[in-house]
Amino acid sequence: MRTALLLYCIVLGLVLSACHMPTGGPEFTTPLPRFENPDENATQPEPTLPIITPTPTAASELVQLVATVWETLPQAPVLMYHRFDPREGAYSSRFVTSLADFDQQLGALYEAGFSLISLDDWLRGKIHLQEGRRPLIITIDDLFYADQIFLDDAGNPAPYSGIGRLWVFSQEHPDFNFEAALFY
């Protein structure tokens, strides 16, 4: 125990002797620079703000905007066709429409001022029609099941199908448009 106490005192003495400032030695001082004012009565100039002169810029090019403004919320009838019968002299029924009746219906709808819009555009509120035209949506069910898609040699819808008759009619009346919601 005595040895431990002696060792403790030696370490404490060394630590305390290392923690004091040196008492002797030369002093180093750096003189501060002195600025002399040759004319102490002289006034400093007042800072001035720059004068900003606006420069006119060239007028930007006018952009013409065409918009359709509806006085009331537009309504669009939705006509659903199930199947088309291409046979001559065929009769229309609740689920089957003869192509002759379909042609007459398209003509009557066109004369009444309707133009086709896509169901997707209608749901997004993007209704773009010529002035005086009204929106109309046509849907066709059982499209693939009933083999209602036929193309001619040029890749256009064949006229012996409902889609083909709609295509031909839209080519003769471009403002009627060629849009349909097809379901299978």
pLDDT for res 33 = 67
Structure tokens at 55: 């420069």
Structure tokens at 160: 């012996």
User: Can you give 11-39 as a three-state secondary structure string?
Assistant: HHHHHHHCCCCCCCCCCCCCCCCCCCCCC
pLDDT for res 71 = 79
Angle between helices 162-172 and 99-111 (to 10 degrees): 30
pLDDT for res 24 = 57
Q: What is the pLDDT along the chain (184 residues), one digit of tens a residue?
A: 778 777 777 877 777 766 555 555 566 667 766 666 666 666 667 778 888 888 888 878 888 887 777 777 778 999 999 888 888 889 999 889 999 999 999 999 999 999 999 999 998 888 888 888 999 999 988 776 656 677 888 888 888 888 899 999 999 999 999 988 888 7
**Model's pTM, two decimal places?**
0.59
pLDDT for res 146 = 59
